[in-house]
Amino acid sequence: MPELPETETIARDLDREIRGRSIVAVAIDRADVLRELTATDLIRAVTGAMITRCWRRAKLVVLDLSTGAHIVVQPRFTGALLLSRGPLPEREAPYSTLHLSLDDGRDLHYRDIRRLGTVTLMGADRFREYAAALGIEPLDLAFDLSHLSGLLRGSRQAVKKVLMDQRLVAGIGNIYANEACWRAGVDPSRVARDLTGEEAAALHGAIVGVLTESIAARGTSFRDYRDVWGERGGFQRSLAAYGRGGQPCRRCGARLVETHAIDGRSTVLCAGCQR
């Protein structure tokens, strides 16, 4: 968390708001979020550069610069990119790790409460290599039923582990893997290769549907995810599985089961209608 819908929301907002803006200064308060370079390196490399595009790859927010480099932000559990004109609100300010001052008077902060996320500056070749190791984007046209079926047939892992493997499918985390399996009526612990063609088709539709709907709702907020304005997403009101262990299934009424048997992560399922 944030997963694909949340980082897509952030990237779209940033692209609309700061594409074409120049970075006039950089301030770094918590250098431990930086990877592959020092604070001095980052300041020297990006000051004066123009932001030419903001976009998402997997669970990353990518800022393309006029220099050809990319600022790559991986928010992980508690990271957020917040735009402000003047100081951040008191609830956010203590957790700002760095900020870019822009030529329109606004600041772009990377706020991270637990500082488990990362900020990296990558050249074109390094970013190409990094992105190539990530799997297919589940909202791309190339991610069709045939592609998903091939991934499932080739794996003896649990279905949920396949969906969350960023080398196979990029951007799906625990929230949306739970939701997609519930929507498809598939037990997330099933061996992937054992799914029937009908089950694979249902799962494909569930993945695309839940991600698309969550983007429309601007993502899911439980505690820490915020959009660039510091606002919460709205999809948590539509969750049918994740976070609802012990509550009745919205499809059949059976009590939802919560387990940590798959990779130690919280998995919520309905034993009554997920097979």
**DSSP state, residue 22:** B
List 25's β-bridge partners, or say none.
101
Active-site annotation holds for 90? no
Is 160 annotated in the active site?
no
Read off the tokens for 88.
């951040």
Catalytic pick among 5, 8, 17, 59:
59
- Per the CB < 8 A criterion, the answer to whether 75 and 8 are in contact is no
Residue 265 annotated among the catalytic residues of the structure: yes
Decide if 178 contacts 240 (C-beta within 8 A).
no
Q: Is 188 a catalytic residue?
A: no
Query: Which residues pair with residue 63 across a beta bridge?
Result: 54, 71
Q: What backbone torsions phi and psi does residue 104 show, to the nearest 5 degrees? A: -100, 10
CB atoms within 10 A of CB 254: 13
> Which residue's structure tokens are 């249902």?
202
Looking at the annotation, which residues are catalytic?
Answer: 2-3, 59, 265
